[in-house]
Structure 1
Amino acid sequence: MEPVGLGRRDNDVYLALLELRRATAVELAEHVGESPAAVRACLATLVGAGLVHQLGYAPAAYLIVAPDEALAALIQRRRGDLARMQVHAEELAQRLRSGPPRTGSPVELVEGEDAVIASVTRLQAQARKEVLAVDAPPYLGGQWNPNDFEITQLAVGVEYRFVYSADSLSTPMHVANMRRCVEAGEQARVLPDASMKMLIVDRHTALMPASYQDPDPAVRLLVRESALIDVLVCGFEQMWQRATPVLSEAVLSEAVLTGTGQPTAVADRPVPSARDGELLALLASGMKDRSIARALGVTERTVGRRVTELMTELGAQSRFQAGLLASRKGWI
């Protein structure tokens, strides 16, 4: 793994996971003879590189991503001596690859958690310009899972646009992850009733549930360049237009200036705190107090009280008017 910037310990943990296929940090630590803390650090590196996928949190399980697909994304960023790494990646993939070969059909059925995870990682690794996504249930393993590989792709210039459903922002952990991605460069919007889960890469390949009526997280359709992609992109853009933008801290800070370059102020406070900005964005998107409280990790009563205070500061007579005034001021 040294040619792609990984160390011996990272290499040992990766090969151990290749053998186990799925394991927790504690199980891997026992397997390689290292401390759980050291193994977790290696796993964080491997997840960030797109070689391993984290599933859940309590406790987190780690899955190997098909080596020929995941390593190819790293190899493309290197030169010279990395040619032999491709050979090793293909050899390792033979031990993991299963299922029927791809066909020439524009639509392919992807079945099984491992296959879905590999497809999600591979598509992101192949992205050169943009990734469009609707984040909504159902999730693999029955719970929401972080997408740390997105941070890596944002850093190399891939544009991400995400539409989040109410269910995808149901806990403070979910909101914190969205905020982390936004600060890294993701363009995020909230649409409470968004349910058409999808991932579209460079407008030529997409991954979506096989059914929206009775979705199974471990069964997806891989759609290649065709008229179906155009329909999916159109559907995404319509949701994007309806959704409420989530601003980064930097953009909120810039909102202190009006078009004439003069600072604006409401109750001696030019822009809302990050917490108030999240509350206003969720409120303007149409989420109810109970859902907002769950997302922010506070009580419904606290949300109601803060909304009333913000309405007073904005001089609004209704929640709708508060959202309108906050939008005009560049707060959301």
Structure 2
Amino acid sequence: MLEALGLGPAEEAVYTALMARQPASAQDLARRTGLEHADSVRILADLAARGLAAVEPEGGAPGRAGGETGRPPARYRLTPPSVALAPLLVEQRNALHKAEAAFSMLTEQYRSTAAHTAGGVVEVVVGVEQVAHRFHQLQSGAQRELLVFLVGAPIAVPREDTDSSESSAIERGVDFRIVADKGYLDGHDVVQDVRAAVMAGVGLRVVDSLPLKMVVADRERAMVPLDISDSGGEPSAIVVHRSGLLAALVHLFEREWDQARPMYTTASGVREGTAADQQPTGEEREVLALLLAGVSDRRVASQLGLSIRTVERRIRRLMDLAGAESRLQLGWHAARSGWL
């Protein structure tokens, strides 16, 4: 928990043990944490040097570490965390801001130098490992949105890696939408995967056919696998960066999404249908109840222990189910349909 503030596991163990019961000596803390006495002494001295703890002399007021032969062992108290840890937090936050600024600068420099070359717009990735690596980068790096076309055989990525990337994106509150070719759902044993994805909050719709398979991250990058069925070569893909081509791919996704049929869960699995056929999940009903009570999105997220993006995603799905263009229309439809 405190590693982000510069404390290692052993230091954190001593720190939290001292917080639970203070004042305490190095011997007391070694016994509580299971550390060697010498390690406990060293860590306490380091905490004191960094201002996170202080020695309590026999008089009772905190002072400097020390002692003479024959005196009782030094006993330590924590410096109040609001005083001692605040500078560390500010330091880490400043370092993060600097890293973000450097990232933005390098990204813009790359775009400006590569903008006039084909290589700056499209990369070709060849080989199972390279394709899997870039696919994982795309999904794990998404912060806002993932748009996916599923067609034919899956992208050349191990299934467990795909599951891990999808779960991580959903947990981060990324808006995850998938349009699947009907042949993909018919041709693979994916019913349980699809049901789990829908229940986790993934937006899933189905169409009779799609022109290509792809994944788009944050409308900044897209990956399109190349068809190698006739060549017998290694799996390959192109990675498309921000450009008119990428904008066209996003437009294609949105058009197919609008025309696709929603998928929703049933007791036995999933089936497709119109939005009017669907009912909100229990989690969505919780969001809806608070929303209709006048609670803000951010407050809803706090009360339900969700991210703000997850709340927004559930509200958008509720509006899709209701065919509503505003939250007022959503409330009217919810009352009329007996959703609460």
TM-score by length of 1: 0.43
Greater Rg over alpha carbons, structure: 2
TM-score by length of 2: 0.42
